Amino acid sequence: MSDVFISYAHSTAAQAGIVADALKALGYRVWRDDELPVHRAYADVIAERVEAAKAVVVIWSTDAVQSEWVRSEADKARADHKLVQLNIDGAELPMPFDQIRCVDLAGWAGDADHPAWRTVVGSVAALVGAEAPPAAHAQPAGLSICVLPFTNMSLDPEQDYFSDGISEDIITDLSKVSALAVVARNTAFTFKAKAVDVRKVGRELGVSYELIDAVKGSHIWAERWDRDFTNIFALQDEISQAVVVALKLKLLPAEKKAIQRRGTANPDAYNLYLMARQMRASGNEGDRRREEEIIRLTRRATRIDPDYAQAWALMARAQTVLKLHFAEQGEDGLAAAERALALDPDLAEAHAIKAQHLARQDKPEEAMAQLQTALRLDPDSWEANKQAGLISFRERRLEDAIRYYRKTTSLMETDFASPMMLITCFTALGDRGEAMAAARTTLTRAEKAVEEDQSNGSAMATGCVALAFLGQVEQARDWARRALLIDPHNMVMRYNLACALSAHLADVEGAVEILEPFFATADEFWLSQAKVDPDFEALRDDERFKAMVETTRTRLDTKAQPAS
């Protein structure tokens, strides 16, 4: 079991990571909720870990003070006499925690010599006792690296997808080296197109290298690459190998093989895949045009290289969206997912898509088995975590859903749907503080998406949910009107707008009107979703809503009956 349990609000996950890494560097075994197992209930695991820990470090913040989870964990730690408190934003602590010493670590970025941090370390050492390895004998934390996003030198912003794609793939390659800890893509990309102080970034991220020594500020390795597009794979191999050599690492045979495994050897197929992958990350969930374009791009890629598993998986994902969201006729994505798995059984995204189909076939146990495989292969798979969150949500296991949606929110900075789901989950559990933090994240991301694409109806709908929850009623209604005017046939958007009206604006009549076109095309998936969604509680007794549900049920049953 762990020496130290860290309790914190989701909005301060970055600071919690710095605290955890600093304690790990001292040799302590540290646990926080980003390490929750797939197969167990959230609350059970948390209770078990708090009980087993020798010290509980509570990171107080404005949002933590309002979080029932943090306060419950802190209260258990206080009762067991193993509470260590630190404050990162000057929040006023609730009783009785305001009567216990709490050090001020506002603005702390990992400086081991900070007086307040030394106080925290001393308290942890006293609680953990002789079993904790002393700092003088702690094992080195190992090499850690951040690959900052490459710069697009073409001066054409539409070519960003290519430089971004190369950056992502090199991050993936280096992540396969067991001796190297690599900062995740979503964190590294927060520094895109910014002039950075590498020493400051190194302290913030807790890394040793950014292809520059983050401690000394001197170059460990730097090259300028100017190659023909057809040599792109050789270039990626050279960059990865050069970093490995510069850091004096030795690759295991399996690691070298994994780095050289590209999925395709054809640069044209790869270019098409990168275009489709960037489009997938754009965030306009429920946009039929986007999914159709992804299918066109990946279909061309697989025609060039029929054995390109990643392209098949991405195609499967887009086909699945069209089938589930728009009841499209034709391929539903399952065959493409099976093709991807036949080519590469270790492709996490393909397992996640297959899980989605199994869940739709009312096979939740088989679906979760697929997701466990996906998350074992790639714990940071956005697709796998998102599907795990959805399955948990539909089964009303909201604590588990929160864990997965927290993960997806952190994995993709353009994902505005996952923090919106957190609003629903936390509201249903009565944790307004965490719901408030999720609403702010949702709104920030939705505003950015709408700024980049004025026709992004999905972003407007999620932004409407956040605005409604935050009490900005007129702006929420304005976003709803704009969304319906711009993208009236986006059924996912309609569903989310109805959630905003029903759950946060007390407008049952408006929600029902928006849902009429939705129920006219809804399939089994969406009908069952509407039945379990906490946001629709206010609609359950409305006669029009009940009639629409019944009409949809009859339509689907009639369609399912065999022809006589």
pTM of this structure: 0.66
- Report for 61-65, 72-76, 508-512: range of highest mean pLDDT: 508-512
Domain ranges of the chain: 4-137, 143-262, 416-564
Question: How many other C-beta atoms are found inside a 10 Å radius of the C-beta of residue 118?
Answer: 13
pLDDT score for 152: 67
pLDDT score for 103: 86
Stretch 31-36: mean pLDDT? 66
Tell me the sheet residues that pair with 181: 144
* pLDDT tops 80 at residue 33: no
Average pLDDT over the chain, rounded to an integer: 81
pLDDT score for 209: 58
- In whole angstroms, give the CA distance from residue 36 to residue 2: 13
Q: What is the DSSP string of 266-290?
A: -HHHHHHHHHHHHHHTT--TT-HHH
Each residue's pLDDT tens digit, 367-382: 888 998 998 888 888 8
Taken in order 148, 152, 157, 158, is the CA torsion positive or negative? negative
Each residue's pLDDT tens digit, 451-483: 888 888 889 999 999 999 999 999 999 999 999
Each residue's pLDDT tens digit, 68-125: 888 888 888 888 888 899 988 888 888 888 778 788 888 777 777 677 787 788 788 8
Each residue's pLDDT tens digit, 213-227: 555 554 455 555 555
At 54, is the pLDDT very low, low, confident or very high (cuts 50, 70, 90)? confident
Q: What is the DSSP string of 541-554?
A: T-HHHHHHHHHHHH
pLDDT score for 314: 94
The answer to whether the CB of 61 falls within 8 A of the CB of 104 is no
Higher per-residue pLDDT: 1 or 543:
543
- In whole angstroms, give the CA distance from residue 526 to residue 206: 43
Q: Domain 416-564 classified CATH 1.25.40?
A: yes
CATH top-level class of 4-137: alpha beta
Half-sphere exposure of 220 (CA within 13 A, CB side): 22
Percentage of the chain exceeding pLDDT 90: 29
Each residue's pLDDT tens digit, 147-160: 777 776 666 666 67
Stretch 400-429: mean pLDDT? 89
The pair of three-digit structure tokens given for residue 543, joined into one six-digit string: 């006669």
